[in-house]
Structure 1
Amino acid sequence: MFKEKVSKKEFLKVVGMGCLALCVIVGSFNLSSQGNQAKAKTYVIANGHEIKTMDPHDILDSCILVRGNMYDGLTRFQGDPPLLEPWLTESWEAGPEAKEWTFYLRKGVLFHDGSEMTGEDVVYSVEKLLNGGRAIAGTLIKVLKPGATEAVDRYTVKFHLTEPCAPFAGLAQFIFVLNKDVLERHEENGDYGNRWLATHGTRIGKDGAGTGAYGLKEWKPGSYWTYEKFPDYFKGWDQPHMKDVRVEVVYEAATSIVGLKKGIYHYWADMRTYDEMQELMKSPLLQEIHVRNPKINFIHLHNGKPPTSDVHFRKALNYAFDYDSLIQVVLHGYNERNIGYIPNSLFGSLDPEKDWYYTYDLDKAREELAKCEIDYKKYEPLVITTLGGYTTYIAMAETLMAGLEQLGIKARIELTTWPTFCEKISKPETTAHMSIIGLSPYYFDPDHFARLADPRGFGTYAGGSWYENPKITELHKKALATPDKEERIKLYQEAQRIELQDASHIWLMQVNYHNAVNKDVAGLENYSPYGRLQELREFYFKSEWE
């Protein structure tokens, strides 16, 4: 695919060796901190990054392990394809304009301290979420304001929205209901118990703040955390299940591979590349999983920081990326090209057979560079940032670097941890020129991905481009208000076509799910793209239950 200087063989060698050097920089594997063989009846997960909080209202990505197990929302997506189901509710209904929503709560749901969940807990949780500037609030604050949630009675709650919101029932999965009485005991200066919950989590006993299937047993930040099952979980425990769970923080993908092959870990809480899967399948202990998954990987281009603030420079970067070599050669076709910000497998996506999109073309890249009004050389080396230990992200960074080198643009790759990545990308002044990340579908509606291209994403990892186009924002607003699916498709497609001309990002691929799990683990037929094998209650050990 490369037309100048770098052959495909050389490209693969550079990218492959770059990924290997960056991922296996430790030189040798030290698994002593994780112990020896995984203890019987304890499900051991390797997680590629540490977490900074046990508060479900502070978590948007990579911590399904926390919010999907210790806490529950009003609704939840289940199954494949994902369908929205009542969770802490029995049912819900919308008013004629989708501005007033009524949820009827499930009776008899207990918190981890044994008290029953009521409408007052829901109202308190919503106020905590909206008033505290929590991460998940960004998905709700545009339509739901503080003080607009009403407990009609013990088991009925009404939401009075500021504007119509067709997918609000899906958004309600983010309303994780917390124990009002417990959090009020731990409030500091009216913070709704935020500081306490962030470091304490929900534990079975007098400080039980959540309703989830598991409670936090022990947490050593940066190292590990453990769960114990909640015997009185409202869904019950009649089916086979995991009783005890331990999550180890394992930064290097290569270290996790060794641990899985030796049976130290049962599962790695992320997706695997082709090369990783080939290595893992050498082990007789492991089984493989392959599922189409509406997650997209992309590159934020900082629209507010020179030189990526120049639209022609951004277009040059889009033309300088060798999409086919990355997806088909380096990643062996495990993923598929996605030309806009809505995944291929979700309604509202663009059609590569009909729609225009960027392809690898260095001549066009140079034409765009010649139109730049900003002297990009003044800002070299440009910074490309992504998460360390994630080989796909690193391959994306190496491919981008190869394209920049063809244009004579100097850049450097900065690998970081998830908390640091989120902290830096939350402010325009600390966001890198190019930030490589992915977005998973937390509620299966185009609106979830639309925040990549409007101000609702600002301050979160979804808003790292700092891009705003009033036309797109208005189209998103119209799509959010209409219940007509076909009309919504037209609006989202029109918005994406405008964004492509602005080149606010480099849209790369839909990332399908590939992983390996210990053969003793069963219940995998319950896989859902929402949970990504991280909703622990669904799985069990064959050796224990069969």
Structure 2
Amino acid sequence: MTGHHPPLNRRGFLRAAGGAALLVPFASACADTRTTQSGGGGTLRYALSAEPKGLDPASTGESNSGIVIHNVYDRLLELTGDGKDVSAGLAERWEVTPDGIGHTFHLRQGVKFSDGTVLDAAAVVASLRRTMEVGQGASDLLVDHVKPGNIVAKDAGTVVITLDAPFSPFLRTLALDAVGSVVNPAVVAANKTQADPTAAKYLARNMAGSGAFQFVRWTPNQVIELKASDSHWRGRPKLAGVLFNSPVEPSTAALQIERGDLDVVGNLPVNLIERLAQRDDVTVLATPLLDITYWIFQTEQAPFDDVRVRQAICYAIDHEAIMANVVKESGIPLRGPIPGSLIDGYNDNKDVVVYKRDVAKAKELLAQAGHANGLKIDSTYVPGYGTLKQIAEVMQANLKEVGIECAIGELPLSTIIDKVGKGELPFFSWKSTLNYASPDALLYGKLHGKASQSVEGNLAHYRNDKVDTLLDRARGSADKQAQDADWLAASAQISQDAPWLPLYQDVDRRAVRKNISNYKESALSRPDLFTVGKD
């Protein structure tokens, strides 16, 4: 869990960062794929699913923070709607050297931060170096691949980045909110202290971007207010502003959108979404997300350090009943650790273990692991994220039938984030969002032995040298067919090792009032609100 990425989401609870593009030399002059608009009127009232952890792009990858960050900051590049490619952002065009190491970005002219400061190459360089200095969030996607001194301003309009070695996901990395969002260095300089040289404390509660919307205020546990920028390089947004409301109990949120007190609400239980879908003044948008929902085993803690126990739990769960009776249209069954659409032929591959309910098999594995007389475990979930509570209750009943007594409990997202980062929860629900449509985004970032054991990384504390070798090779490869073969082999091994109990790929079912126009939910859970209107 963006965050949206836990239950969170990294982009779900936490939106995970990573992914791989083909490593080929090219020169790009891609046009910005986001439509230019002018005018402005109406305030969008958007219900967040959890209180943001902070508003500094360099220190948070959590999805609710990311929705705000995405619309206040600009990036060198932007991800396309499907997450599979990049398009122009602050950089109008760019070139990559044939060896995949040198990257040159040509900035559009006349861009200014919200305070009127010019956004030039020096500002981009300072912001990227600041992300590395802060050293949190997804900063490892820079730190591990480039030295700060190799991010330079050739002139006021040109940024040159020289990697240490080829890194195929790099362009997508720069398009991530938690990596590439450009922060005004003048604001950093004005608010830094000797104890806080990056002004992280100030920027956790304030914002200094060049995006289509400007930050107005954040009243914690109430609202984050944005106003339209009159001078954004794309023009003025259609909306006059946005109010990101702090989360309320799901039934209350449903009542508020019915009354017109909210305009956009997601993460509601299936019964409430289905109720809203019957209304003439509400549209329910269904968007498959690059988010997955699963339970994580802390593989270094007993009894989950025994693969047989993990497999037994996976076999004990009635996956089909959970999908049919609880998740329904809000998810697509997850086969192994990644969404099947990411690799051609993945769903037909026999090497990937697909766990289906098998009580006898589960009992046999438990007996082999020395638990023939039963086992007691704890499981934790985050409240308020759709169907997680109901899933936990089904799992509890399923496990009881194979001799496992599972105590389930809920904790607030902020508490879960703190505890899982310290390895204090042994078996817990999680949501992760791929930042782009590549297996690397999940497999390397969350299951490689060298991945951090923070909330952005390998929370299962899983390591398999064979898997690491496959993922390393895929990450540096320029051959898509070979990459896919390595990712498929890694997925198969991971499915056997079961560091996760996979459940489903999320389908976002978001209630939007019909007087809201042009709202499109991103597959990456980062809606661009620039084109949205309100009648």
With the length of structure 1 as denominator, give the TM-score of the two structures.
0.84
Q: Distance in 2 between matches of 1:177 and 1:350?
A: 37
Q: In the alignment, which residue of structure 1 is the partner of 2:11?
A: none
Q: Distance in 2 between matches of 1:191 and 1:443?
A: 32
Q: In the alignment, which residue of structure 2 is the partner of 1:13?
A: none
Q: Where in structure 1 are there 5+ consecutive unaligned residues? A: 1-39, 203-208
For the pair 1:307 / 2:303, whether they are aligned, the reply is yes
Q: Distance in 2 between matches of 1:502 and 1:538?
A: 45
Q: In the alignment, which residue of structure 2 is the partner of 1:193?
A: 199
Q: In the alignment, which residue of structure 2 is the partner of 1:225?
A: 224
Name whichever of 138-147 and 63-72 sits farther off: 138-147
Deviation string, structure 1 residues 372-411 (Cα, Å, up to 9, x no partner): 2589978x4x332222111322233222212221122222
Contact 1:301-1:465 within 8 A present in 2 as well? yes
Contact 2:42-2:533 within 8 A present in 1 as well? no
Structure 1 residue matching 2:387: 3-state secondary structure: helix
- The CA deviation at 1:315 is 0.8
For the pair 1:112 / 2:107, whether they are aligned, the reply is no
Out of 169, 172, 184, the residue aligned to residue 170 of structure 1 is 172
Change (3 A) 1:188 1:383: farther
Contact 1:297-1:511 within 8 A present in 2 as well? yes
Change (3 A) 1:138 1:422: farther
Q: In the alignment, which residue of structure 1 is the partner of 2:378?
A: 383
Out of 177, 184, 187, the residue aligned to residue 182 of structure 1 is 187
Q: In the alignment, which residue of structure 1 is the partner of 2:332?
A: 336
Q: In the alignment, which residue of structure 1 is the partner of 2:522?
A: 528
Q: Distance in 2 between matches of 1:132 and 1:357?
A: 40
Moved >6 Å (runs of 4+)? 374-378
Change (3 A) 1:396 1:144: farther
Q: Distance in 2 between matches of 1:385 and 1:188?
A: 39
Out of 458, 465, 469, the residue aligned to residue 463 of structure 1 is 458
Contact 1:123-1:149 within 8 A present in 2 as well? yes
Q: Where in structure 2 are there 5+ consecutive unaligned residues? A: 1-40
List aligned pairs for 1:16-95, cutoff 5 A: 41-62=42-63, 63-80=65-82, 83-95=85-97
Change (3 A) 1:297 1:139: farther
Deviation string, structure 1 residues 238-296 (Cα, Å, up to 9, x no partner): xx62112111112422221111111111111x344532221112333211212333321
With the length of structure 2 as denominator, give the TM-score of the two structures.
0.86
Change (3 A) 1:536 1:263: same
Structure 1 residue matching 2:442: 3-state secondary structure: helix
Change (3 A) 1:144 1:396: farther
Structure 2 residue matching 1:56: 3-state secondary structure: coil
Q: In the alignment, which residue of structure 2 is the partner of 1:252?
A: 249
Q: Distance in 2 between matches of 1:243 and 1:67?
A: 17
Structure 1 residue matching 2:395: 3-state secondary structure: helix
Q: Distance in 2 between matches of 1:412 and 1:348?
A: 39
Contact 1:51-1:419 within 8 A present in 2 as well? no
Q: In the alignment, which residue of structure 1 is the partner of 2:30?
A: none
List aligned pairs for 1:342-381, cutoff 5 A: 342-347=338-343, 350-352=346-348, 354-355=350-351, 356-372=353-369, 380=376
Cα root mean square deviation, aligned: 2.2
Structure 1 residue matching 2:148: 3-state secondary structure: coil
- The CA deviation at 1:150 is 1.8
Q: In the alignment, which residue of structure 2 is the partner of 1:452?
A: 446
Structure 2 residue matching 1:331: 3-state secondary structure: helix
- The CA deviation at 1:497 is 0.9
- Overall identity of the aligned pairs, in %: 25
Q: Distance in 2 between matches of 1:349 and 1:464?
A: 28
Structure 1 residue matching 2:524: 3-state secondary structure: coil
Q: In the alignment, which residue of structure 2 is the partner of 1:31?
A: none
List aligned pairs for 1:231-242, cutoff 5 A: 231-237=230-236, 241-242=238-239
Change (3 A) 1:71 1:150: same
Contact 2:42-2:239 within 8 A present in 1 as well? yes
Q: In the alignment, which residue of structure 2 is the partner of 1:12?
A: none
Out of 493, 500, 503, the residue aligned to residue 505 of structure 1 is 500
Change (3 A) 1:81 1:182: closer
- The CA deviation at 1:324 is 0.4
For the pair 1:398 / 2:390, whether they are aligned, the reply is no
Q: Which has the higher contact order (CA 8 A, sep 6+)?
A: 2
- The CA deviation at 1:216 is 1.5
- The CA deviation at 1:348 is 6.4
Q: Distance in 1 between matches of 2:162 and 2:434?
A: 25
Q: Distance in 2 between matches of 1:418 and 1:121?
A: 34
Q: Distance in 2 between matches of 1:317 and 1:124?
A: 48
Structure 2 residue matching 1:318: 3-state secondary structure: helix
Q: Distance in 1 between matches of 2:142 and 2:362?
A: 39
Change (3 A) 1:144 1:417: farther
Change (3 A) 1:52 1:61: closer
Change (3 A) 1:508 1:145: farther
Q: Distance in 1 between matches of 2:373 and 2:125?
A: 51
- The CA deviation at 1:349 is 7.6
Deviation string, structure 1 residues 225-249 (Cα, Å, up to 9, x no partner): 1111111111112xx6211211111
List aligned pairs for 1:480-495, cutoff 5 A: 480-495=475-490
Name whichever of 48-57 and 369-378 sits farther off: 369-378
Q: In the alignment, which residue of structure 2 is the partner of 1:324?
A: 320
Q: Distance in 2 between matches of 1:310 and 1:319?
A: 15
Residue identity matched to 1:262:
R
Q: Distance in 1 between matches of 2:466 and 2:373?
A: 28
Q: Distance in 2 between matches of 1:292 and 1:391?
A: 15
Change (3 A) 1:66 1:433: same
Change (3 A) 1:392 1:140: farther
List aligned pairs for 1:269-284, cutoff 5 A: 270-284=266-280
